[in-house]
Amino acid sequence: MRLDGKNIVVTGGASGIGRATVLEMANLGAQVWCGDIDEAGGAAVAEEGGNSVNYVRLDVSDAAAIDGFASAVLAAAGQIDGVVNAAGWDRIEPFVNNTPEFMDRVIAINLMGPVRVTRAFLDGMIERGEGKIVNVASDAGRVGSTGETVYAGAKGGVIAFTKSLAREMARYKINVNCICPGPTDTPLFQGQPDKMRAALERAIPFRRVATPGEIANGIIFFASQRSTFITGQVMSISGGLTMVD
Protein backbone atom coordinates (compact mmCIF):
# COMPACT_ATOMS: atom_id res chain seq x y z
CA MET A 1 0.00 0.00 0.00
CA ARG A 2 2.38 2.68 -1.31
CA LEU A 3 1.84 6.43 -1.58
CA ASP A 4 4.80 7.24 -3.80
CA GLY A 5 4.63 10.64 -5.48
CA LYS A 6 1.54 11.77 -3.55
CA ASN A 7 1.29 15.15 -1.84
CA ILE A 8 -0.95 14.78 1.21
CA VAL A 9 -2.09 17.32 3.79
CA VAL A 10 -2.61 16.11 7.36
CA THR A 11 -4.10 18.51 9.89
CA GLY A 12 -3.41 17.92 13.56
CA GLY A 13 -0.21 16.23 12.49
CA ALA A 14 1.96 17.26 15.44
CA SER A 15 0.66 14.67 17.90
CA GLY A 16 -1.52 11.62 18.43
CA ILE A 17 -3.35 10.10 15.47
CA GLY A 18 -2.26 12.87 13.12
CA ARG A 19 1.41 12.42 13.98
CA ALA A 20 1.24 8.65 13.46
CA THR A 21 -0.46 9.25 10.10
CA VAL A 22 2.15 11.78 8.96
CA LEU A 23 5.09 9.53 9.76
CA GLU A 24 3.60 6.36 8.27
CA MET A 25 2.56 8.17 5.09
CA ALA A 26 6.10 9.49 4.77
CA ASN A 27 7.42 5.94 5.21
CA LEU A 28 5.13 4.86 2.38
CA GLY A 29 6.57 7.39 -0.05
CA ALA A 30 4.28 10.41 0.28
CA GLN A 31 5.34 14.01 0.62
CA VAL A 32 3.34 15.06 3.67
CA TRP A 33 2.27 18.56 4.63
CA CYS A 34 1.66 18.67 8.37
CA GLY A 35 -0.59 21.46 9.60
CA ASP A 36 -0.88 22.10 13.34
CA ILE A 37 -1.07 24.96 15.80
CA ASP A 38 1.65 23.30 17.92
CA GLU A 39 4.84 24.70 16.43
CA ALA A 40 7.23 22.70 18.63
CA GLY A 41 5.40 19.45 17.91
CA GLY A 42 5.19 20.25 14.21
CA ALA A 43 8.92 20.97 14.01
CA ALA A 44 9.65 17.70 15.84
CA VAL A 45 7.57 15.57 13.50
CA ALA A 46 9.12 17.30 10.48
CA GLU A 47 12.58 16.53 11.81
CA GLU A 48 11.66 12.89 12.41
CA GLY A 49 10.09 12.55 8.98
CA GLY A 50 13.08 14.06 7.21
CA ASN A 51 12.70 15.43 3.69
CA SER A 52 9.30 13.76 3.32
CA VAL A 53 7.53 15.88 5.97
CA ASN A 54 6.92 19.61 5.80
CA TYR A 55 5.44 21.54 8.73
CA VAL A 56 3.31 24.64 8.14
CA ARG A 57 1.57 26.28 11.09
CA LEU A 58 -2.22 25.96 10.98
CA ASP A 59 -5.06 26.99 13.27
CA VAL A 60 -8.10 25.14 11.93
CA SER A 61 -10.45 27.35 13.97
CA ASP A 62 -9.36 30.42 11.96
CA ALA A 63 -10.75 30.71 8.42
CA ALA A 64 -8.09 33.22 7.36
CA ALA A 65 -5.34 30.98 8.71
CA ILE A 66 -6.71 28.05 6.69
CA ASP A 67 -6.64 30.12 3.50
CA GLY A 68 -3.05 31.17 4.21
CA PHE A 69 -2.04 27.60 4.96
CA ALA A 70 -3.57 26.33 1.71
CA SER A 71 -1.88 29.06 -0.32
CA ALA A 72 1.52 28.27 1.19
CA VAL A 73 1.16 24.52 0.69
CA LEU A 74 -0.10 24.78 -2.89
CA ALA A 75 2.69 27.21 -3.79
CA ALA A 76 5.29 24.74 -2.54
CA ALA A 77 3.68 21.45 -3.59
CA GLY A 78 2.00 22.45 -6.85
CA GLN A 79 -0.92 20.13 -6.20
CA ILE A 80 -2.43 18.19 -3.34
CA ASP A 81 -3.61 14.62 -3.92
CA GLY A 82 -5.17 13.96 -0.52
CA VAL A 83 -6.38 15.72 2.60
CA VAL A 84 -6.63 14.11 6.03
CA ASN A 85 -8.63 16.16 8.53
CA ALA A 86 -7.27 14.79 11.80
CA ALA A 87 -7.17 17.93 13.96
CA GLY A 88 -9.55 17.83 16.90
CA TRP A 89 -10.06 19.09 20.43
CA ASP A 90 -12.39 18.58 23.38
CA ARG A 91 -12.68 18.72 27.16
CA ILE A 92 -14.81 16.31 29.16
CA GLU A 93 -17.50 18.05 31.17
CA PRO A 94 -21.31 17.99 31.54
CA PHE A 95 -23.19 19.78 28.79
CA VAL A 96 -24.87 22.09 31.32
CA ASN A 97 -21.41 23.37 32.30
CA ASN A 98 -20.41 24.22 28.72
CA THR A 99 -19.93 27.94 28.17
CA PRO A 100 -20.86 29.53 24.83
CA GLU A 101 -17.16 30.16 24.19
CA PHE A 102 -16.34 26.49 24.79
CA MET A 103 -19.12 25.31 22.48
CA ASP A 104 -18.03 27.71 19.73
CA ARG A 105 -14.44 26.47 19.96
CA VAL A 106 -15.44 22.79 19.84
CA ILE A 107 -17.55 23.37 16.73
CA ALA A 108 -14.94 25.60 15.06
CA ILE A 109 -12.18 23.03 15.44
CA ASN A 110 -14.03 19.75 15.04
CA LEU A 111 -16.65 20.59 12.40
CA MET A 112 -15.87 23.83 10.60
CA GLY A 113 -12.15 23.02 10.53
CA PRO A 114 -12.60 19.96 8.29
CA VAL A 115 -15.23 21.78 6.20
CA ARG A 116 -12.98 24.77 5.53
CA VAL A 117 -9.74 22.82 5.03
CA THR A 118 -11.45 20.50 2.56
CA ARG A 119 -12.90 23.44 0.64
CA ALA A 120 -9.49 25.10 0.45
CA PHE A 121 -7.98 22.16 -1.47
CA LEU A 122 -10.98 20.88 -3.41
CA ASP A 123 -10.77 22.95 -6.60
CA GLY A 124 -7.50 21.38 -7.74
CA MET A 125 -8.84 17.88 -7.18
CA ILE A 126 -11.99 18.68 -9.14
CA GLU A 127 -9.92 20.08 -12.00
CA ARG A 128 -7.75 16.94 -12.18
CA GLY A 129 -10.65 14.54 -11.64
CA GLU A 130 -9.09 12.69 -8.71
CA GLY A 131 -8.33 13.03 -5.02
CA LYS A 132 -8.82 11.56 -1.57
CA ILE A 133 -10.49 13.22 1.40
CA VAL A 134 -10.31 11.40 4.75
CA ASN A 135 -12.12 12.92 7.70
CA VAL A 136 -11.39 11.79 11.24
CA ALA A 137 -14.62 11.96 13.22
CA SER A 138 -15.26 9.86 16.35
CA ASP A 139 -17.47 7.06 17.56
CA ALA A 140 -18.89 9.75 19.84
CA GLY A 141 -20.54 11.08 16.70
CA ARG A 142 -22.11 7.69 16.00
CA VAL A 143 -23.37 6.63 19.43
CA GLY A 144 -22.95 9.65 21.72
CA SER A 145 -20.62 10.10 24.67
CA THR A 146 -21.36 11.34 28.18
CA GLY A 147 -19.52 14.57 28.88
CA GLU A 148 -18.86 15.20 25.19
CA THR A 149 -22.26 16.31 23.92
CA VAL A 150 -21.21 19.24 21.72
CA TYR A 151 -18.13 17.33 20.54
CA ALA A 152 -20.34 14.37 19.61
CA GLY A 153 -22.63 16.74 17.73
CA ALA A 154 -19.69 18.22 15.83
CA LYS A 155 -18.30 14.80 14.95
CA GLY A 156 -21.76 13.64 13.88
CA GLY A 157 -21.73 16.65 11.59
CA VAL A 158 -18.39 15.49 10.13
CA ILE A 159 -19.95 12.11 9.35
CA ALA A 160 -22.89 13.75 7.57
CA PHE A 161 -20.54 16.17 5.78
CA THR A 162 -18.50 13.19 4.57
CA LYS A 163 -21.50 11.38 3.14
CA SER A 164 -22.98 14.43 1.44
CA LEU A 165 -19.66 15.57 -0.03
CA ALA A 166 -19.00 12.04 -1.29
CA ARG A 167 -22.22 12.21 -3.30
CA GLU A 168 -21.28 15.57 -4.82
CA MET A 169 -17.69 14.60 -5.58
CA ALA A 170 -18.32 11.17 -7.11
CA ARG A 171 -18.69 12.71 -10.58
CA TYR A 172 -15.13 14.02 -10.25
CA LYS A 173 -13.75 10.65 -9.08
CA ILE A 174 -12.89 12.10 -5.66
CA ASN A 175 -13.23 9.65 -2.76
CA VAL A 176 -14.53 11.04 0.53
CA ASN A 177 -14.52 8.74 3.56
CA CYS A 178 -14.51 8.94 7.33
CA ILE A 179 -12.67 7.22 10.18
CA CYS A 180 -14.34 7.02 13.60
CA PRO A 181 -11.81 6.18 16.29
CA GLY A 182 -12.87 4.81 19.63
CA PRO A 183 -10.74 5.46 22.74
CA THR A 184 -7.15 5.89 21.59
CA ASP A 185 -3.89 6.39 23.47
CA THR A 186 -3.44 10.07 22.56
CA PRO A 187 -2.49 13.08 24.73
CA LEU A 188 -6.22 13.87 25.03
CA PHE A 189 -6.96 10.38 26.37
CA GLN A 190 -3.97 10.44 28.72
CA GLY A 191 -5.34 13.62 30.25
CA GLN A 192 -8.49 11.85 31.48
CA PRO A 193 -8.84 10.60 35.08
CA ASP A 194 -7.37 7.16 35.78
CA LYS A 195 -10.78 5.79 36.74
CA MET A 196 -12.28 6.84 33.39
CA ARG A 197 -9.40 5.38 31.39
CA ALA A 198 -9.65 2.08 33.26
CA ALA A 199 -13.42 1.89 32.74
CA LEU A 200 -13.05 2.41 29.01
CA GLU A 201 -10.38 -0.26 28.76
CA ARG A 202 -12.67 -2.74 30.54
CA ALA A 203 -15.58 -1.90 28.22
CA ILE A 204 -13.61 -2.58 25.02
CA PRO A 205 -13.80 -6.26 23.98
CA PHE A 206 -10.04 -6.30 23.30
CA ARG A 207 -9.51 -4.88 26.82
CA ARG A 208 -7.28 -2.04 25.68
CA VAL A 209 -7.44 1.25 23.82
CA ALA A 210 -6.15 1.72 20.28
CA THR A 211 -2.70 2.96 19.47
CA PRO A 212 -2.50 6.02 17.20
CA GLY A 213 -0.82 3.83 14.59
CA GLU A 214 -3.83 1.50 14.45
CA ILE A 215 -6.08 4.45 13.61
CA ALA A 216 -3.53 5.70 11.09
CA ASN A 217 -3.72 2.36 9.27
CA GLY A 218 -7.39 2.95 8.53
CA ILE A 219 -6.73 6.51 7.39
CA ILE A 220 -3.99 5.36 5.06
CA PHE A 221 -6.24 2.70 3.54
CA PHE A 222 -8.79 5.36 2.61
CA ALA A 223 -6.01 7.62 1.27
CA SER A 224 -4.48 4.89 -0.88
CA GLN A 225 -5.31 3.25 -4.20
CA ARG A 226 -6.69 0.28 -2.25
CA SER A 227 -9.95 2.23 -1.77
CA THR A 228 -10.66 3.55 -5.26
CA PHE A 229 -14.25 2.20 -5.32
CA ILE A 230 -15.11 3.20 -1.75
CA THR A 231 -16.74 6.53 -0.95
CA GLY A 232 -19.13 7.96 1.61
CA GLN A 233 -18.20 5.27 4.12
CA VAL A 234 -17.63 5.41 7.87
CA MET A 235 -15.07 3.04 9.41
CA SER A 236 -15.20 2.55 13.16
CA ILE A 237 -11.88 1.54 14.75
CA SER A 238 -12.81 0.88 18.35
CA GLY A 239 -11.76 -2.66 19.27
CA GLY A 240 -15.41 -3.69 19.09
CA LEU A 241 -16.65 -1.10 21.61
CA THR A 242 -19.34 0.25 19.29
CA MET A 243 -20.83 -2.62 17.31
CA VAL A 244 -23.70 -0.74 15.66
CA ASP A 245 -24.82 -0.25 12.07
Residues annotated as catalytic (active site), given as ranges: 151
State the Cα–Cα distance between residues 192 and 196, nearest whole angstrom. Answer: 7
- What lies within 8 Å, CB to CB, of 178 at 6+ separation is 134, 135, 136, 137, 158, 159, 162, 163, 233, 234, 235
What three-state secondary structure class fits 216? helix
**At 217, which amino acid appears?**
N
State the Cα–Cα distance between residues 93 and 89, nearest whole angstrom. Answer: 13
The answer to whether 61 and 105 are in contact (CB under 8 A) is yes
Tell how strand 131-136 and strand 7-11 pair up: unpaired
State the Cα–Cα distance between residues 167 and 171, nearest whole angstrom. Answer: 8
